[in-house]
Structure formats: C-alpha cells, structure tokens
Chains A and B, each alone.
Chain A
Amino acid sequence: MLDRFLLGIHSFWPTAWSRQRKSSATMLTSSLLLIAILWTIAIPLSWAPEPIGNNAALFAQGTRMTVELTIVAGLAGVVLGLLAALGKTSRLPPLRWLAAFYIWVMRGTPLLVQVLAVYFALPELHPVLRMEEFTAACVALALNVGAYNAEAIRSGLQAVPKGQIEAAKALGLSKWHTFIDITFPQAFKIALPPLVNNIVALLKDSSLAFTIGVVELTNAGSQVKSTSFQAVPVFIATAVIYLVLTTVMTQFSDAVERRFDIEGKLG
C-alpha cells in the first residue's frame, strides 16, 4: 500500500484499463484534486493550532495566488519556450540570434533581478510598461521559465531522427504537417521531463513575486510570522502547502508522460 502511495494515483486504477484510460483518469483526478485543494484548503488549515488556524484565510489566499502565478506564467512560458526553440533552430540567422540573445540574458541573470526590473525599471523606460504587481510577476516568471523551456524543447526537436523528416518529406507532407504530425509529438515526448522540472521550479520560484508585493504563499507566511513571532509553525505550514502543490502537479505531469509512453517504458 505504501508502495502505491509512492507510485502515485496511476497505480490505483484497475490493471485492466488501457494506458490511455489510466492516463486520462489520472489527469482528471489530479486536476480535480488541485481545484478541490484551492477551494477548500482554508478548512483543514483552520483546524490547525495558532498561528495557522486563525490565519487560514490568508494562507488559502496565498496558495491560490501561487497557483495562479504558476499556471499563467507556466502556460505563457511554454509558448515562449516553443517560439524561442523554433527561433534557435531556424534557418534564418536573425531569428537564431534573437532567440540566443533572449536565452542568454534570461538564463544568465538572477530571476530576482528580472522580477524587480520588470516591475521597477520597465515603467521608467516607457509608461506603457507600467504593470500591476501580479502582471509584472507573471511577465518576469514567464520570460524566465520560457528561456529554460526553450532549451528543453530545442533538445527535443534536435533529438528527432533525420530519417523521420525525410520520410515525411518523401510522402509529400508540407512543412507545417511535418512539424505538427511528425516532429512536434516526438520532440514533445523527449522534452517533457525537463519541461516538468522547469514548471515545478517555477512553482517554487513564484515566491520571488513576494519582493514586489504580490501576496502569494511565501508572502502570506511571512506576514503571519511577523504578527505572531512564531517562525517554526509558519514555515512548516508553508513548506507543506508547497509540497502538496508540487506533488499534485507531478501526478498530472506523470500522467502526461505515460500518455506518450507507447513503448511502456514507465511500467
């Protein structure tokens, strides 16, 4: 039984179910689980002793904000990553340079500096770039994770054997269909584990939004700590909530990986 918990939701489905069905069921369950957690997390938190119980609403609000930052920046980051990966593997030199420059800057500077720069420095360059805290945090996080995603997706694209593209060409498939039907699904499968890594890292890195005043989970915890002067229970609660979120998230991503695992390598 302990084994099953370590293996995750996937191992609870009837063995007779097909791989696809188990995968869909896990994706659905973990999504519902996440929604349920976001909806009701204040209830179990309120049972906890002080200073957690009396601040349950603040923790719940911080948790929702952390998940919102992760989902918005994560989705934007995957799109940015795909664009940058296509740029980096493009035949047009200016696109390659642009993508390489973007990746170089975002991976070579601290995320904290990027968050602060988007919020404080961009509006000084042009007033149009003035954003509220949440938007600025999302932009900085998306730009950052996008650069890491780009490298993951690029390595996936380049790992698709040349013979696959030749076969697609020989069949007369257009460039678009070669990409959508042949290259991308195979590249995505290869890129998935590093992409998941990046998104899990993003969930934790979203705590840097704290520095520009976004009340996400770490900020909420910090506020409770400064009013209650009880650091230990606050940081335990904060860490446990992060762990619950990353666990649910990896359940979802495991299911996505299994969906693409036609050779049954994941068991």
Chain B
Amino acid sequence: MSAVPNAPGGGAAFISVEGVNKHFGSHHVLKDVSTQFNAGEVTVILGASGSGKSTLLRMLNRLETHDSGRIVVDGIEVNDDARQLERLRAEVGMVFQQFNLFPHLTVLENVALAPRRVRGLSRAEAEARAKELIERVGLAAHMHKHPFQLSGGQQQRVAIARSLAMQPKVMLFDEPTSALDPEMVKEVLDVMKALARSGMTMLVVTHEMGFAREVSDRVLFIDQGRIAADAPPEVFFGAQDNERIRAFLGRILH
C-alpha cells in the first residue's frame, strides 16, 4: 500500500486526552484518563469487555461525549461546536465492529459518498478515488455489488476503503474483526497491516494479540476505566508483574 498523502509527520503529540471522565448512569466507565497519541504511531488498546476501551475510542470523534476533561485532536478541541465537529470528523476515520456499510448503496457508492458530500468532489472525481481504494483492498471485482452480496471480511474491507476515501489523518478501529468468521479475520488484518506500514496513525481496539505484537508500536491496557499499562508490545507481552494483565492475557491466549 502506498503512503497516505495526508499522513502527518512523525513525532508530535497528535491526539491528547487530559483528565477525561465518563459515566453511563451510575457506572463510572472512564476514570480520569490522560494520555497522548503520536502521529504515525499504531496503538493497540486492550482490555476486558466493559473496561471502557471502545468508549475511549468513540470519544475521539465524539460518538460519545466526555463528562469532564479535555480531548484535542490535531489542534481541534473535541466538543459540540458543529464547525469543529465537522473538521474533526473529516480528519478522523472510523471502522466499526459491525461494518455499518450503507445497505442501499453499492460498494462504489458507499466509498464515494462522503468525499462528494463533505469534500465537495464531483461524482467523477470521487468515484475515481473510490475505485483506486476499492482496488487497494482487493475488491475491484465487487465494485457494483451491494453490501448484502459480500462476505463479512469483504464488507469490512469496503468499510476501511470508505473511511480512507476521506483521506483521514488518523484511523480508529473498534474491534474490526470481532464480528468476522475466523477464516475472514486474516484478510482484514492484512489490509490493516499494509495501512500501518504506509505510516497511517492508527488506534485499534482489538483482541487480536498477533496483530498487537507484530504491528503495534504501543499497547494500552485499560482496566476498570483506567490505563493500567502503557508499553511497547515486546515489554507488554514479556514479563508481566501486573496480576490483572496476566489474568487478561491468560483468558485471551488460552
């Protein structure tokens, strides 16, 4: 996969999260979470279900609101200001567990829609870009099909192409392979690995330990609403002195 044109240069703190709290009713999901994500970095976020890892991810493009604290993405404060939100979401791509492709549109239309509506591209321009991306994820033969005609793995690859069509500076993956049959996990991970190698900034909530080991620069482990570990994968998966991480990895790997 070729380099992503809009990928920011490495080094600077691209996303900053400061003292963020989130409640769902009486349940305190995220507790005073602070961290930073750098441009060009691939971060894998691990944690048991209900630990708050998806919530953290969904706050970065305001699919969830935060109750307190501050989130800044590439200099854009994440809040309800409609203008800011539009800029933010145009820069942040997201891939969902359930793909969420638009069922009434073809593959090509799914990928070309947002660039036309948000970036103001002509249909021809948007479709040319869409075709290139659909080829990149290996689905050139399925351009004019509707989502229901594709396998789960193919749908998720379309969803990745759809996000990339907006030329985002960061891609969020919310358990992208969790809804897939085992034999389709690899085709999606391969696309994600190629994307990581191209220098894309990626935040990935997943249970795919192989992906975390092989591709990530950093592993965040979230436990009961707090960041319980933040380390490069070789350190994280190596000797662990933390009881809960050992227990979590034990459950995942065995």
Flag whether B163 is at the interface (Cβ < 8 A).
Answer: yes
Task: Tell me the complex Cα distance, A51–B31, Å.
Answer: 85
The answer on a CB contact under 8 Å between B114 and A172 is yes
Mark A residues whose CB is within 8 Å of B: 161, 163-164, 166-174, 177, 181-182, 185-186, 189, 260, 262-263
- Residues of chain A within 8 A (CB-CB) of B117 are 173-174, 177, 181
Q: A175 CB to closest chain B CB, in angstroms?
A: 9
Task: Tell me the complex Cα distance, A243–B103, Å.
Answer: 36
- Residues of chain A within 8 A (CB-CB) of B104 are 185-186, 189, 260, 262
Closest-by-CB residue of B relative to A262 is: B146
The answer on a CB contact under 8 Å between B89 and A174 is no
The one of B63, B86, B163 in contact with A166, judged by C-beta atoms closer than 8 angstroms, is B63
- Residues of chain B within 8 A (CB-CB) of A161 are 100
The one of A172, A177, A186 in contact with B166, judged by C-beta atoms closer than 8 angstroms, is A172
The answer on a CB contact under 8 Å between A263 and B100 is no
The one of B86, B101, B159 in contact with A172, judged by C-beta atoms closer than 8 angstroms, is B86
The one of A166, A171, A185, A260 in contact with B114, judged by C-beta atoms closer than 8 angstroms, is A171
- Residues of chain B within 8 A (CB-CB) of A260 are 104
- Which of A166, A167, A262 counts the most B-chain CB atoms under 10 A from its CB? A167
**Please, what's the 1-or-0 string for B217-247, where 1 marks a CB less than 8 Å from any CB in chain A?**
0000000000000000000000000000000
The answer on a CB contact under 8 Å between B93 and A170 is yes
The one of B93, B100, B114 in contact with A163, judged by C-beta atoms closer than 8 angstroms, is B100
The 7 closest A-B pairs by CB, nearest first: A167-B100, A172-B89, A171-B114, A170-B94, A163-B100, A172-B90, A172-B118
- Residues of chain B within 8 A (CB-CB) of A169 are 61-63, 89
Task: Tell me the complex Cα distance, A260–B159, Å.
Answer: 22
Task: Tell me the complex Cα distance, A186–B103, Å.
Answer: 8
Closest-by-CB residue of A relative to B93 is: A170
Flag whether B162 is at the interface (Cβ < 8 A).
Answer: yes
Mark B residues whose CB is within 8 Å of A: 61-63, 86, 89-90, 92-94, 96, 98, 100-104, 113-114, 117-118, 146, 148, 159, 162-163, 166
The answer on a CB contact under 8 Å between B102 and A173 is no
- Residues of chain A within 8 A (CB-CB) of B103 are 186, 262
Closest-by-CB residue of B relative to A171 is: B114
A-B residue pairs in contact (CB < 8 Å), sample of 20: A163-B96, A166-B63, A166-B96, A166-B100, A167-B100, A168-B102, A169-B89, A170-B89, A170-B93, A171-B162, A172-B86, A172-B118, A173-B113, A173-B117, A173-B118, A174-B86, A174-B118, A262-B104, A262-B146, A262-B148
Task: Tell me the complex Cα distance, A163–B95, Å.
Answer: 11
Closest-by-CB residue of B relative to A178 is: B117
Task: Tell me the complex Cα distance, A105–B103, Å.
Answer: 36
- Residues of chain A within 8 A (CB-CB) of B114 are 171-173
The answer on a CB contact under 8 Å between B102 and A263 is no
- Residues of chain B within 8 A (CB-CB) of A164 are 100, 102
Q: A20 CB to closest chain B CB, in angstroms?
A: 12
Q: A167 CB to closest chain B CB, in angstroms?
A: 4
- Residues of chain A within 8 A (CB-CB) of B146 are 262-263
- Residues of chain A within 8 A (CB-CB) of B148 are 262-263
Task: Tell me the complex Cα distance, A167–B96, Å.
Answer: 8
Q: B125 CB to closest chain A CB, in angstroms?
A: 17
- Residues of chain A within 8 A (CB-CB) of B96 are 163, 166-167, 170
Closest-by-CB residue of A relative to B147 is: A262
The answer on a CB contact under 8 Å between A171 and B89 is yes
Closest-by-CB residue of B relative to A165 is: B100
Q: A192 CB to closest chain B CB, in angstroms?
A: 13
- Residues of chain A within 8 A (CB-CB) of B163 are 170-171
Q: A224 CB to closest chain B CB, in angstroms?
A: 48
- Which of A170, A181, A185 counts the most B-chain CB atoms under 10 A from its CB? A170
- Residues of chain A within 8 A (CB-CB) of B113 are 171, 173, 181
Task: Tell me the complex Cα distance, A260–B101, Å.
Answer: 17
The answer on a CB contact under 8 Å between B118 and A171 is yes
Task: Tell me the complex Cα distance, A185–B109, Å.
Answer: 14
Beyond A166-B63, A171-B166, 8 additional contacts (C-beta under 8 Å) are: A163-B98, A168-B102, A169-B89, A170-B93, A171-B89, A171-B113, A172-B166, A181-B117
Closest-by-CB residue of A relative to B104 is: A185
- Residues of chain B within 8 A (CB-CB) of A173 are 113-114, 117-118
Q: A82 CB to closest chain B CB, in angstroms?
A: 18
